[in-house]
Amino acid sequence: MLQQYDFYQSIQNKALSEHFLKAGDMLADEAEILGGAVRHLMAAGETINNKNIIATLIHSLECTDSVLSADVIRKTLEIVVDYTLDDI
């Protein structure tokens, strides 16, 4: 289970990672989606910032056929956007 949370250290926005860490199981599904986005960016050699996370989540949303997955991705996207500065 600890391995699941290793990606938080890679996120540049510490307020965002703290939000997910403090939420614990309440945002477990969203944390899984966020972790997948971060791992994807890491594998691609991209910077782990809110802009790239948002782009990755939008792409995931566009590619999913599952209504349930789309809802979790949307909620994750909403959280990331809430923690994004207006000038990014």
Residue 9, pLDDT score = 86
Residue 76 belongs to what H/E stretch?
helix 67-82
Q: How far is CA 70 from CA 3, 43, 65, 67, in A?
A: 25, 23, 8, 5
**DSSP code of 88?**
-
Amino acid at 23: A
DSSP track, 3-68? GGGGGGGG-S-HHHHHHHHHHGGGGHHHHHHHHHHHHHHHHHT---SHHHHHHHHHHHHHH---HH
Tens digit of pLDDT per residue, the chain (88 long)?
Answer: 334 447 888 898 999 999 999 998 999 999 999 999 999 999 999 999 999 999 999 999 999 999 999 999 999 999 999 998 765 4
Query: Quick one: fold of 12-82?
Result: 1.20.5
Residue 24, pLDDT score = 85
